[in-house]
Every structure is written in structure tokens, then in C-alpha cells.
Amino acid sequence: AHEIKNPLGGLRGAAQLLQQELESKELKEYTRIIIHEADRLRTLVDRMMGPTQPLNQEPVNIHEVFQRVRKLLLAESPVGLTILPDYDPSLPDFVGDKEQIIQAVLNIARNAVQAMDGKGRIILRSRITRQFTIGHKRYRLVLKAEIEDNGPGIAPEMLDAIFYPLVTGRPEGTGLGLAIAQDVINKHGGLVEAKSQPGQTVFTIYLPLENGDD
């Protein structure tokens, strides 16, 4: 954990110093994003690398998660990337660890951006699914969150293995982002699936909105 947290501390400190020197409000917004993300990742590392602890349960609004992810990705790829919201405004909050959910969605969406070389379209979609089974439990109401991109697609021979650690289609990839995303969703009693064809890849996250029946 120290190998991650120490560079984050240096990154945060450098961003604070830079923020003091900047006059432009737009540029200061980027430094605020860096500082906020450094703090969030430090907290996330503490939770994920430390002893097994219960999730930090709180009401989570999936649209706030999507908006946070959208803001981060557009800051990383400001030219050529379009991220469109397609939300069901009637969706209720669910109970979960907001920071971990943000990280899971960010990992999936960032994977899409990298597959498109930072240029393309992503749709962040939310819906309700009724009478849905996750594992051995049947749920009356389930949140369905989709991350769709119009990139080149995932090779069929890789699709069944993309959630395994160290599996990646990019030479510079670590193969950990999607594995971490799946682990987070599983800890929340949810499910994540992927389907892909050239020009359309959709990752779907299912999260229970209530207790299920065995």
C-alpha cells in the first residue's frame, strides 16, 4: 500500500502548489480534480489493501457516480471524446460504498476510452430491471447501469476472460481494472456482464435495490 500511497501524497502536494500559482479558474478546476482523486484513491487503497472490512454503506445515487466518472474522463481526454447521459430519473438510491462503486464504473469506462484511443462516444445509461436473478437470489427490483462505447469491440476469444486478472488486449495494460471492477460489484451482491461486437461494446452492472429471495 505504501508504494501507492506515497506517490499519491507527492502528486497531491504538487497539485496544491500548482493551484496556488495558477490564475485561470479553468486550470484550477483541473488541479482540484487531481487533489480530489488523490484523496479518493488514498481512501480506496486503505479500504482495499487493509484488513477485510465491511463496506462503507451509505445511500448511493448512480447518476452522481456517472457524473463523477464523466467529469474525470473528459478531463483526461478533452478532445474527441463524447460522453452522453441516458438516465432514468425515477431510479432510487441503492446502499453501497460510493467510492468503490465510482472506481468500478471508472475502470470500465476508462477501459472503453483506451480501446477507442480517447476518441469516440460513450453512453452512460441507467434503468430498472424487474424480477432478476443474481446468483441464487431473485430480486424484485434491480438497478441496471450500462457503459456503452462505439469502439472496435472486444475479440471474441478474449470476451470470456476479460474479468480475469492480468488479461489485457493492450501491450501497456495491466489487466487489473476490470478484475477490480468485478470484485467491487460482487462485494455489493451484484453482477457485471459484457457483450461486444465491432462498433458496440456494452458493460452492464446489476445491483440489487432491495433484499432478494433465496
Same domain for 23 and 122? Answer: no
Q: Which residue has the cell 457516480?
A: 65
Could you list the mean pLDDT of each consecutive 10-residue stretch along the chain, which spans 214 residues?
69 87 87 85 64 76 96 88 95 93 93 91 97 92 96 86 66 68 92 93 94 62
Helix and strand numbers (H, E) in the chain are 6, 7
Same domain for 178 and 72? Answer: yes
Same domain for 101 and 17? Answer: no
How many domains does the chain contain in total?
2
Same domain for 118 and 41? Answer: no
pLDDT for the residue 142? 96
pLDDT for the residue 107? 92
| Global pTM value | 0.75
Same domain for 20 and 124? Answer: no
d(CA 102, CA 111): 14
Query: CA distances (Å), 211 to each of 57, 60, 93, 106, 142, in order?
Result: 15, 16, 14, 26, 10
Q: Which domain holds residue 16?
A: 2-49
Same domain for 64 and 13? Answer: no
Same domain for 72 and 151? Answer: yes
